[in-house]
Structure 1
């Protein structure tokens, strides 16, 4: 325990070991990551190395470029490579190895070789192009036909970019009065997030692809050094396989990017992109106008020819119609005569049948009347015969008790009064005895 060290003592010992064993500076190949510049002008970053097969990080070291060195190296690097010093770049840097008791191991950059980065950029670009060729997608987008009517345009750009405003102004002020419909899908066109932002915009357009005829990727102005994202494989392969034609105008004068190579059409500026769509529409309009004029001319010739043939047919039809009508009138006259004679004969027959039916109807009615009269007379005789008055005259009587006719001895009660009605009067009797018979 007497030989134990404090952490500070240990770190000081490590610092001395590093200082004594790494006294010089060393050229190191690495990839930049997390590059950031603070308010004092110092540049802090990480150096990483990836496995060439798995792309997993196999080494990592913290790095720093002090402000006075960074001002010189940054300007020199950009002038030589045409691109800014940023994350994701392959670099060859001269570093000193440092170990600080508090901040640990780091590499301090004292020099940089731009030619290495230029080679790395060119190599990476060629690898992307070769990969696209091997996958058979390098020219897919170029093979897509641009519709004759191509005025629904999905735009990928920064909403605040001057080039986007120039693009819209050029479309709106076209000399042909053509109407264009544009929809902006905002994206970061530079910086570390540009790749993901552009791909996200493409995915949103893909979801609504039936609403658009083409895609414009525009970027007005800006440094050439900010074009790295347009050489990336993810952006290039997404554009190459996109189902709508893509027209690029990303505002640069150097060699074309990989994105320009895979796009259907590549022009220099956003204004040129607008001109491309205007010219395409104007050509389509000219073709349509020419077709319209040719169609009108052909239609007029056809109408004139048909009018001549129609006039000849009209004359033939007139003469044939006159002859046909004359023949039909004659036949109609014969039919009318025959119909009149036949109608008269039928009418005479119907009149005779009507007279016979009237006689038969009158005889039948008279027979029914005689029969009904005889039946009524028989009924009158019967009713007269069975009337109560005639029945009483024959010696029959009617017995009444409490206003009701008595039809059975069972309804009588002894010591009560009954009335007996005769043909010429009635009597009142008191019941003394009731003798009931069984029937």
Structure 2
């Protein structure tokens, strides 16, 4: 059959065919349906909300179904406000949603599902499940409470700030620090980051890495977000960002600026506050508490010194009063010790003298016993030769003079050797 044959038989135009499909859909799908799906694309155009919906295979990222969905402006603004109020986020890519939809086939634009309602409780459940899975993994890694083990330094005055440069919250934070009533001087350095949308995670991690490169320049890190919409905070609920915050070596303070349930990085941070201004107030109060503690310690120190001086003055006065008595006692004790020493010396001298006298007497008796005059009186004689006592006759020769001493006198003789005596002596 040729094209001419089709024309002859009255072929449909595309518009007619689409209109037929539209009538068929309207006749067979005449109600609305609640559908579970994941948003793969989302955008707002002139107040309308356009989405691409997908369904993935279990445990896989492969889509098994796709569809387009639209929410017209007259419904979207109300549904958007209700959804954000409940979840703190605008429906966005990667979010699982429960939608009430009606079929619509437009001859010019094709088929789409028209969204008439959202059920935020379903999304909240999925968000909570994801957050619980992240929290469970952080605890299994042992990093969930790492930041809590850090202490904000007493003099935390060098602040690394992660924020959008143009955010009103960043300005509020800096102004609150600068205008503190105590006159404290804080230094801040901004590490710019995207604080809303899909780039939150990578942007904040990059800022943390930049701070790490000059770690010694700072005391704490403050992550703040304020002055904008509270929607789309999903970027703060990611595992990678939470791990980076939890493992950071400086205390991290978060002031994300939302009233819903705390984000995962709020949970792992050292300290969580609601707003950027509250983060500034925390740092001011920390330094004020230190200043008050120093003042109190100074007051206590002055009081303790005054008390100690009084006590020492009283002690010196008492010692001064005791000095005469102590001197008299010391003098008496010294005199007594001196007397005792003198007595000991005297006794030792007397004992030594007695011992020496006895020894001298003994020596005298021995000397007297050896006195040669006593031997002479007993009939003994001494022969002297050359002024010495003669002990060996062989030393004499004829003609020598010898002197014999007796008890009653001295006799001088000349030596004359007799031949017989000598011969007899030689025979001996």
After TM superposition, the score normalised by the length of structure 1 is: 0.59
Cα displacement (A) at 1:297: 9.3
Task: Report the equivalent of 2:139.
Answer: 133
Q: 1:81, 1:286 → 2: CA distance?
A: 42
- Residue number among 251, 274, 280 corresponding to 1:268 in the alignment: 274
Q: 1:140, 1:101 → 2: CA distance?
A: 60
For the structure 1 residues 43 and 26, does the alpha-carbon distance in structure 2 shift closer, same or farther, using more than 3 Å as the test? same
Q: 2:82, 2:295 → 1: CA distance?
A: 57
Q: 2:97, 2:82 → 1: CA distance?
A: 14
CA contact (8 A) 1:231 1:259 kept: yes
Q: 2:14, 2:266 → 1: CA distance?
A: 56
Task: Report the equivalent of 1:145.
Answer: 151
For the structure 1 residues 211 and 28, does the alpha-carbon distance in structure 2 shift closer, same or farther, using more than 3 Å as the test? same
1:166 aligns with 2:194: no
For the structure 1 residues 299 and 134, does the alpha-carbon distance in structure 2 shift closer, same or farther, using more than 3 Å as the test? same
- Residue number among 200, 223, 236 corresponding to 1:194 in the alignment: 200
Q: 2:58, 2:180 → 1: CA distance?
A: 51
1:38 aligns with 2:45: yes
Task: Report the equivalent of 2:2.
Answer: 2
CA contact (8 A) 1:11 1:100 kept: no
Q: 2:213, 2:15 → 1: CA distance?
A: 57
Cα displacement (A) at 1:277: 1.4
Task: Report the equivalent of 2:24.
Answer: 20
For the structure 1 residues 51 and 129, does the alpha-carbon distance in structure 2 shift closer, same or farther, using more than 3 Å as the test? farther
CA contact (8 A) 2:159 2:222 kept: yes
Cα displacement (A) at 1:224: 3.9
- Residue number among 73, 82, 89 corresponding to 2:79 in the alignment: 73
- Residue number among 218, 224, 227 corresponding to 2:224 in the alignment: 218
5 Å-filtered alignment, 1:268-417, equals 268-287=274-293
What's the secondary structure of 2:77's corresponding residue?
helix
Cα displacement (A) at 1:183: 0.6
Q: 1:139, 1:16 → 2: CA distance?
A: 63
What's the secondary structure of 1:153's corresponding residue?
strand
CA contact (8 A) 1:62 1:107 kept: yes
**What do the CA deviations read for 1:155-188 (whole angstroms, capped 9, x no partner)?**
1112222222221122122233322111111223
Unaligned runs of 5+ in 2: 317-428
1:179 aligns with 2:185: yes
CA contact (8 A) 2:157 2:187 kept: yes
Task: Report the equivalent of 1:379.
Answer: none
Q: 1:59, 1:197 → 2: CA distance?
A: 33
What's the secondary structure of 1:35's corresponding residue?
strand
After TM superposition, the score normalised by the length of structure 2 is: 0.60
Q: 1:187, 1:236 → 2: CA distance?
A: 16
Please, what is the CA RMSD of the aligned residues? 3.7
What's the secondary structure of 1:75's corresponding residue?
helix
Task: Report the equivalent of 1:336.
Answer: none
What's the secondary structure of 2:261's corresponding residue?
coil
CA contact (8 A) 2:99 2:119 kept: yes
Task: Report the equivalent of 2:236.
Answer: 230
For the structure 1 residues 13 and 208, does the alpha-carbon distance in structure 2 shift closer, same or farther, using more than 3 Å as the test? farther
Unaligned runs of 5+ in 1: 309-439
Task: Report the equivalent of 1:61.
Answer: 67
1:248 aligns with 2:229: no
Task: Report the equivalent of 1:369.
Answer: none
What's the secondary structure of 2:76's corresponding residue?
helix
For the structure 1 residues 287 and 57, does the alpha-carbon distance in structure 2 shift closer, same or farther, using more than 3 Å as the test? farther
Cα displacement (A) at 1:102: 6.0
